[in-house]
Amino acid sequence: MKIGVISETLQGERRVALVPDAAVRLAMFSFELVIEAGAGEQAGFADNAYHEAGVAVEVDRRALLGTVNVVLSVQPLGLEDVAWLRVGATTISFLQPTTQGALIEALAAQGITAFSLELLPRISRAQSMDALSSQASLSGYKAVLIAANRLGKFFPMLTTAAGTIPPAHVLVLGAGVAGLQAIATARRLGAVVEAYDVRSAVKEEVKSLGASFLEFELDAQEGKGGYAREQSDEFLAKQRELLTNRVAVADVVITTAAIPGRQAPLLVTAAMVQGMRRGSVIVDLAAETGGNCEVTQPGRVVEVDGVWVDGTTNIPSTMALHASQLYARNVSNLLQHLASEGELKLDFEDEITRDCCVTHAGQVVNERARQLMGLAAAPQPTQSEASR
């Protein structure tokens, strides 16, 4: 089976879906590997490193797409890439099913089997394939460094001959994968950290990282699979009211709150920003899905009432080497899960295969993706269709 890796074309995307170390591992499973020339360059991996790892380097993207059985990428393929794929080929990438309806229709029409890493089930068996988590962890870490860099203060408490410097106060809203990594990083830098999440289940994890957990008299909002459920407008209004004082005394606010497939909840209003001290910093990791802060501008850093509000998007790409290394490991593990003896053998009874496969045998087979695209429910493929 031939596996191809293409260069990322989205502006600012520096990651690559396969790194040489992961290629060496995949080659042991009898996969033949090919990469588009220069694909790893921006993540720090030159073509000759792939060559030494036994990966063929192809300069012609179209030729690569037209000859491989599986294409790996970080971002979704472009529509023109889909047209070049062989009927029956497979793609594995982030597919952004909420916004990529046209692409998903095209993949189905071309008879492509497409896997979306966003839809991987959050179960322990799938943890090693969980690219959302590996990339969120990078975002949480980097968000703190961005904030520390922008803040005109130390993070740790310092006792110096010129006086004592109090520690910075960091507030982390949303204590999922990114939030927990942000808490750990801010603590390592010596800040005093408090955190809040609508899932009370994370309280012990927050405390074990040395942060305090904000508890409000609000109902927990636990949803399915470890995620939060969508919250009512009343709930969010009450939450903002209770958070106002905590936001006002924070030097740094890192917001990471998200609901899968929905717009990010609004946690920090413009009035709350106005109540913060000048020079304070907000890093809004939810910028791409609408932002947790009312004044966030996706992809930009703005100063509002003396407060820096950072809406940088695609933060994992700013740490492209480790982001690619972790992503490549996740994708390789998924590939090994889907294949046996060097061939893809899809078992739609398996939760991992079923949940993250979006298109197969000419259809959009994923219920979550179908709902987001406004399509009626589809029958699950039979075992004989699955083995096509």
Active-site positions? 122, 127, 130, 133, 227
Site size with ligand NAD, rule: CB under 6 A: 32
Cβ 101 to ligand NAD shortest distance, Å: 21
Query: Angle, to 10 degrees, between the axis of helix 177-188 and the axis of helix 131-150?
Result: 40
CB-CB contact of 176 with 264 (8 Å): no
Closest to ligand NAD by CB, 147 vs 195, is 195
CB-CB contact of 254 with 173 (8 Å): yes
The H or E element that residue 196 is part of is strand 192-196
Closest to ligand NAD by CB, 40 vs 265, is 265
Give the gyration radius of the chain's Cα atoms: 22
CA distances to 64, 158, 255 from 161, rounded to whole Å, are 64, 10, 36
Closest to ligand NAD by CB, 9 vs 212, is 212
240-299 residues in contact with ligand NAD (CB under 6 A) are 256-260, 265, 267
> Binding to ligand NAD by residue 53, rule CB under 6 A?
no
Which strands form 212-213's sheet, in the order they lie side by side? 212-213, 192-196, 169-173, 252-255, 281-284, 307-310, 301-304
CB-CB contact of 98 with 258 (8 Å): no
Cβ 122 to ligand NAD shortest distance, Å: 4
Identify the residue among 36, 81, 130, 194 touching ligand NAD (CB under 6 A): 130
198-237 residues in contact with ligand NAD (CB under 6 A) are 198-199, 226-228, 231
Contacting range for ligand NAD; rule: CB under 6 A; set: 30-38, 108-116, 195-203, 315-323: 195-203
> Binding to ligand NAD by residue 122, rule CB under 6 A?
yes
> Binding to ligand NAD by residue 141, rule CB under 6 A?
no
Identify the residue among 30, 48, 99, 127 touching ligand NAD (CB under 6 A): 127
Cβ 202 to ligand NAD shortest distance, Å: 6
Residue 186, SS3? helix
Per-residue contact flags (x/-) with ligand NAD for residues 68 to 107, judged by CB under 6 A: ----------------------------------------
Contacting range for ligand NAD; rule: CB under 6 A; set: 65-73, 167-175, 184-192, 344-352: 167-175
Integer Cα distance of 65 and 110 in angstroms: 13
- Residues 159-178, buried b or exposed e (16+ Cβ, 10 A)? eeeeeeeebbbbbbbbbbbb
**Read out DSSP for 9-41?**
-STT----S--HHHHHHHHTTT-EEEEETTTTG
Cβ 315 to ligand NAD shortest distance, Å: 13
* Residues at the interface with ligand NAD (CB under 6 A): 122-124, 126-127, 130, 132-133, 136, 173-179, 196-199, 226-228, 231, 239, 256-260, 265, 267
